[in-house]
Amino acid sequence: MTIRFENGIVATLGQENRVLWNGSVVSDGEHIAAVGDAAEMRERFPAAEAVDCAGKIVLPGFLCAHHHFYSTMARGMAPPGEPASNFVEILERLWWKLDKALSDEDITVSAQIPLIECIRNGTTTIIDHHASPSMRAGSLDLIENAVRQAGLRASLCYEVSDRNEPGGGIAENERFIKKVGKGDGQIAAMMGLHASFTVSDETAEKCVGIARDAGVGCHIHVAEDAADREDAIAKYSMPTVKRLDKLGLTGEQSIFVHCVHIDDSEMDILAATKTSVVHNPESNMNNAVGVTKLLELLRKGVLVGLGSDGMSSDMLAQMRCAYLLHRLDNRDPRVAFVEAPQLLLRNNADICERQFGLRLGEIAQGRPADLAIIDYRPPTPLSEANFLGHLIFGLVDATVDTTVCKGKILMKGKKVLSLDEERIAARSRELAPRMWKRL
């Protein structure tokens, strides 16, 4: 099926990084066949179905480098007991109770809700991190099914930790990694681990062995809170990144999430091993854990991407949060204007390329047809030269109208087509209170 997405402003991003007024993106099946002037494309592809994008801007679909679909039903929940006063208490009183209470249907619905929100926000690719200790076996299949039904792309893993029993979750990762193999461009697999402070050397070594044999990376939270660093120093006489590097978790395929409490020598390890870091500014602020030294990491050449950590599926909001946070943190209004969009637009594409073997995040001939088409009538001139200003101060608050992934229209005119939004939300409202009672 060939479709012309025409008459809008096209911002290609990627290497060419062009802004075309009255442009057209032509998809043919799962890929982009051509990009150019709308009239010219009508001539070249007269038989294609036309989707009018007048009054809109056509961007590549957004990529989220760290998400937790399973966190959905925490919304509006009152965790039992006293409010958590620190990060470890947040885990113990909220997340480690919630994940244990998830049933198989909860897992499916908990994935469908954020997948709908991804479609609503033009987020077409997600790297997720899942936990459901009472329902481990097959849990990643349930999420895979939800992702395929939604029509999006996702890299999935199960978070291994010793908190319930030694090596809990290894078998589910191993099974899923074997099943998915190198992936089909829509679903990919990683070896998931919770964090340094919840895995023993033995557990971590087992995970690394499986990941190495399969040629996949490890996806793990690293030094999110000072407690993770203190634990590694107390138990192993070295800080977190150093410990994980010694155990073999670092590498080009691996994703170290957060890296808030790391020192200079640990940053050097991340750079030397080409390990990706994913920054989640909203989540770090929500958990009050501290501020990642983003500018230093980038200066050292570490590949830093952007995630939502389950806070939302709106990647432009995460980008602007990063922009604001690092300007304030550095007390310097000259920084983060380039860096915050770079995390989302370029670095997430690099990270996803390592997971999916596809160049996402750009509109160019031959690239996957993944698009976010957003209502936007620029109030000032818009070109390649000032695109970032429009992104940070305009597009971030604009509404996504149409979302396309693998050449399929998943939302059009703000109506989600691939999933029944009303039915799924209603079912989630039935399931959530039952799950809360099991906490």
Question: 378 vs 28, 35, 314, 363, 384, CA distance in Å?
Answer: 29, 21, 21, 20, 13
List 128, 159, 309, 421, residue binding Zn ion (CB under 5 A): 309
In the complex, what is the shortest distance from the CB of residue 173 to Zn ion, in angstroms, rounded to a whole number?
A: 16
Q: Smallest gap, in angstroms, from Cβ of residue 68 to Zn ion?
A: 5
Q: Which residues contact 75 (CB under 8 A, 6 or more apart)?
A: none
Strand 400-405 relative to strand 371-375, pairing: antiparallel
Q: Can residue 128 be called a binding residue for Zn ion (CB under 5 A)?
A: no
Name the minimum Å distance from CB 84 to Zn ion: 16
**Which residue number, 155 or 418, has a Cβ lying nearer to Zn ion?**
155
CB of 66 to Zn ion, least distance (A): 6
Alpha carbons 249 and 188: distance in angstroms, whole number: 18
Q: How many residues bind Zn ion (CB under 5 A)?
A: 1
Distance between CA atoms of residues 375 and 263, nearest Å: 43
Between 309 and 314, whose beta carbon lies closer to Zn ion?
A: 309
Q: How far is the CB of 67 from Zn ion (least distance, A)?
A: 8
Q: How far is 263 from 259, CA to CA, in rounded Å? A: 9
Give the nearest distance from C-beta 309 to Zn ion in angstroms: 4
Nearer to Zn ion, 144 or 282 (CB): 282
Shortest Cβ 318–Zn ion spacing (Å): 13
Which sign, positive or negative, has the C-alpha torsion 368, 383, 351, 256?
negative
By C-beta, is 15 or 286 nearer to Zn ion?
Answer: 286
Nearer to Zn ion, 245 or 309 (CB): 309
- Least distance CB 117 / Zn ion (angstroms): 17
Of all residues in the shown chain, the one whose CB is closest to Zn ion is 309
Distance in angstroms (rounded) separating the CA atoms of residues 277 and 255: 6
Smallest distance from the beta carbon of 203 to Zn ion, in angstroms? 18
Cα–Cα distance measured from residue 15 to residue 76, given in angstroms and rounded to the nearest whole number: 42
The token pair at 395 is 């597009």
Stretch that binds Zn ion, among 112-120, 261-269, 302-310, 422-430 (CB under 5 A): 302-310
The CB-of-107 to Zn ion minimum distance in angstroms stands at: 17
Q: Which C-beta is closer to Zn ion: that of 6 or that of 309?
A: 309
- Select the span of 233-241, 309-317, 350-358, 368-376 touching Zn ion (CB under 5 A): 309-317
CA distance 216 to 174: 11
Residue among 321 and 372 whose Cβ is closer to Zn ion: 321
Nearest residue (CB) to Zn ion, 144 versus 309:
309
Nearer to Zn ion, 309 or 370 (CB): 309
Per CB under 5 A, the segment of 131-139, 175-183, 303-311, 394-402 that binds Zn ion is 303-311
* 106 versus 224: smaller Cβ distance to Zn ion: 224
Part of the chain binding Zn ion (CB under 5 A), chosen from 30-38, 56-64, 173-181, 305-313: 305-313
Nearer to Zn ion, 91 or 146 (CB): 91
Place of tokens 């909220």: 94
Two tokens, residue 203:
């557990």
* Interaction of residue 6 with Zn ion, rule CB under 5 A: no
- Shortest distance, CB of residue 316 to Zn ion, whole angstroms? 20
Only one of the segments 106-114, 306-314, 380-388, 402-410 lies at the binding site for Zn ion (rule: CB under 5 A); that segment is 306-314
Interaction site with Zn ion (CB under 5 A): 309
